[in-house]
Amino acid sequence: MPPRKRPFIAGNWKMNLTRGEARTLVAEVIRASRSLPEAEFVLFPPFTLLAEAASLTLGSPAGLGGQNLFWEDKGAFTGEISGPMLADLGCSYVVVGHSERRQFFGETDETVQKRTSAGLRAGLRPIVCIGETLAERESGRTWDVLKRQLDGGLAGFEDAEFRRLILAYEPVWAIGTGRTATPAQAEEAHAFIRARLQERYGKEAAECAIILYGGSVKPANAYALFRERNVDGFLVGGASLEGASFNEIAAEAVRAYKEVK
Ligand code: PEP
């Protein structure tokens, strides 16, 4: 049985918000991060808002990360952002391999591995996203897909590197669709992922690994999802754009955490 971990609540703003909107939202999340110390809050604004968010979150419990990074540290790569640049801005995390990157920007398991490696090199904690499409689930290929994405995305990482990674299970059919995995579906996938991690890195490292669920997480489903033993937190998209819904998701996770700890 993995130990119950404090809820890790990540907000992926995607390509949304301007500076004024971001200021209000960050202030609301900082307030919640102070009143809910059991939860770990981390925000993933678009690159244009990172500097602003970094100055606002400085000294608060809320953490910050980038939504992507390039695998080289610097050079002639117009339009790209590197790990050292994110670290320099005050980021501690970076999302890698989000399904929208895989779907629209040609991300593969190999490039996920390279970006993850670059994030680690820069001292960031990468959140590596994996998840099956609806067609893959319906044709019974979910476990093959998750295994392939895990093996490819994490290829070559040693124990100490693995321990700095966070995994996010995000079934593509649940992202932005309003359709959430049931708690039982999420638990089944998370348990599968943890078992696979255990084969590679051993029981203790696998049990310590943080595995987030993402896919239409809302205040109404956060409690039931977090009650599942292998769900350690959430990567929230749409509902992270409103302070009230994001903070309520955290509060619901904390409520479940206190009950099942
Ligand atoms: C996401 O983009 O990681 C996500 C889970 O989005 P949403 O919560 O909107 O489904």
Render pLDDT for 110-167 as a digit per residue (tens, 0 to 9): 999 999 999 999 999 999 999 999 999 999 999 999 999 999 999 999 999 999 999 9
CA of 142 to the centre of ligand 1 (A): 19
d(CA 156, CA 141): 24
Strand partners, 70: 82
> Which of 93, 96, 103, 170 to probe ligand 1 with, by most ligand atoms within 8 A of CB?
170
Q: How many CA atoms lie within 13 A of 122 on its CB side?
A: 31
Task: Say how far residue 132 (Cα) sits from the centre of its chain.
Answer: 16
d(CA 53, CA 22): 8
222 lines ligand 1 (CB under 6 A): no
d(CA 62, CA 22): 14
d(CA 184, CA 108): 28
pLDDT the model gives residue 176 = 83
d(CA 146, CA 191): 12
pLDDT range class, residue 65, cuts 50, 70, 90? very high
pLDDT the model gives residue 240 = 98
Asked if residue 129 lies in contact with residue 97, where contact means CB atoms within 8 angstroms, the answer is yes
Question: What is the average pLDDT across 54-79?
Answer: 98
Tokens 């019974």 found at = 140
* Count, residues in the chain: 261
Neighbours of 4 (CB within 10 A): 15
CA of 247 to the centre of ligand 1 (A): 15
83 pLDDT more than 80: yes
pLDDT range class, residue 43, cuts 50, 70, 90? very high
pLDDT the model gives residue 132 = 97
Say which range, 124-128, 176-180, 222-226, has the weakest mean pLDDT: 176-180
Q: What is the pLDDT of residues 225-257, one digit of tens each?
A: 999 999 999 999 999 999 999 999 999 999 999
235 lines ligand 1 (CB under 6 A): yes
52 pLDDT more than 90: yes
pLDDT the model gives residue 260 = 82
CA of 242 to the centre of ligand 1 (A): 13
- pTM for the full model? 0.97
Percent of the chain at pLDDT exceeding 70: 100
Active site residue 98: yes
- According to DSSP, residue 207 is labeled H
Give the CA angle between residues 66, 156, 171 to the nearest 5°: 50
Nearest CA to ligand 1 atom 2: 237
Active site residue 190: no
Compute the mean pLDDT over every residue in the chain, rounded to the nearest whole number: 97
261 pLDDT more than 80: no
